[in-house]
Structure 1
């Protein structure tokens, strides 16, 4: 059973969903999603662990942050861990969530036991240069006739199967007009200055049919110490489409780390 809660933090309340008991794993979503991206994953990981999927600050039902930056999002992750009395946890993130996971592990290496980075870009000078001239991904202008709903739909339709697209649009509408702020935070992040601070084991997961993140898998893996990689064949941008494969990879990776630690 998935349970929901709000945690009081210095940033305001952070909304989260959780499932299961045991060693904790914290799940971070992509922009502009919410905990719902892990709806199918939570019960799978919850069979053997305490799986917690949070709404990043400024998204879903969590409080609005003082600024939209990867650093502030990561501070929100640590604040939630404090509120839930989690001294240490594994952290898994998808797309933007993976970038936030890197910063979380960099700023508090003693608290992150393992990282799973799913379809996570490497934001170094080359990555920032590519994003500098890129058009907005989800930013749409609201119109009284509701045509912006169609705009949101059509922008993501090439990459999302339609049942999942409904869930995406719902999350995007929740954060209008700031739907693009997470992407902007990623584009400004200086990951090359932070990856060397990561001390825990890392699993980099690539989805072969994600045209944006998959080409960066090798560069990301090479940039991170203590990292290995795995590939989901046929995996796409929405993580829900590969929930079982993703959960199995996370479970195997964390089980292996626990066995080595023991």
Structure 2
């Protein structure tokens, strides 16, 4: 059974969902999602450990961050760990959540036992320059006729199984008009300066049907020469579509 709670932190309350008992694994979602991205994963990982999916600061039902930056999001993760009494945890993130997870492991290596980067972009100088002129991904201006709902839906429709789009649009509506801020935070992050600070074992997970993150898997792996890599066949951008496969590879990595 999934249980829900709010943790008091210096940033305000952080919403989280959890399942199971044992060694903790903290799950971080992509932009502009919420803990709901891990709805199917929580009971699977919760069979053998305490699986916790949080709403990143500024998303879902968590308090706003002091700034929309990867560093601020990561500080929120550590604040939640403090509030829950977690001295150490495995941390897994998907897309933006992977970038945040990396910063958590870089800024507090003693608190991260294992790191899982799922469909995580490599944000180096080349990437920052490319993102600088890229059109917004999810930006939509609210309109009285509700056409922004279709705009959010249609922007992701080429990459999402349609039954998952309701969940995406619901999460995106929660953070309008700041729906793009998480993507902007990724584009400003200097990942290449932080990867060398990670001290724990790393698993890199790719999805065969992700046209954006999969091509960067090999370049990202070069920054983690001792890492384990796997590609989920049939996986796409939304993690829900590959929940069982994702939970299996993460569970195996955490057991190894």
**Distance in 1 separating the partners of 2:114 and 2:199:** 9
**8 Å contact from structure 1 (residues 4, 18) kept in 2:** yes
With structure 2 as the length reference, what TM-score do the two structures score? 0.99
Shift of 1:227: 1.1
The alignment covers a number of residue pairs equal to 256
Map 1:92-241 → 2, pairs under 5 A: 92-241=92-241
**1:242 alignment partner in structure 2:** 242
**Distance in 1 separating the partners of 2:215 and 2:173:** 29
**Distance in 2 separating the partners of 1:130 and 1:27:** 28
Residues 142, 176 of structure 1: alpha-carbon distance in 2 compared, 3 angstrom cutoff: same
**2:27 alignment partner in structure 1:** 27
**8 Å contact from structure 1 (residues 120, 213) kept in 2:** yes
Shift of 1:225: 4.6
**Distance in 2 separating the partners of 1:43 and 1:183:** 29
Aligned-partner SS, 2:86: coil
Unaligned runs of 5+ in 1: 257-262
Aligned-partner SS, 1:90: strand
Return 237-246 or 222-231, whichever deviates more. Answer: 222-231
**Distance in 1 separating the partners of 2:139 and 2:30:** 15
Shift of 1:203: 0.3
1:65 is the counterpart of 2:41: no
**Distance in 2 separating the partners of 1:161 and 1:234:** 12
**Distance in 2 separating the partners of 1:252 and 1:126:** 34
**1:259 alignment partner in structure 2:** none
Per-residue Cα deviation, 1:114-172 (whole angstroms, up to 9, x for no partner) = 00100000101011111111100000111011110000000000011111100000000
**Distance in 2 separating the partners of 1:96 and 1:224:** 18
**Distance in 1 separating the partners of 2:190 and 2:81:** 24
Per-residue Cα deviation, 1:219-251 (whole angstroms, up to 9, x for no partner) = 111112531100101110000000000000000
With structure 1 as the length reference, what TM-score do the two structures score? 0.97
**Distance in 2 separating the partners of 1:187 and 1:111:** 26
Shift of 1:252: 0.1
Shift of 1:17: 0.1
Shift of 1:110: 0.2
Unaligned runs of 5+ in 2: none
**Distance in 2 separating the partners of 1:97 and 1:226:** 21
CA RMSD of aligned residues (A): 0.5
Per-residue Cα deviation, 1:11-43 (whole angstroms, up to 9, x for no partner) = 000000000000000000000000000000000
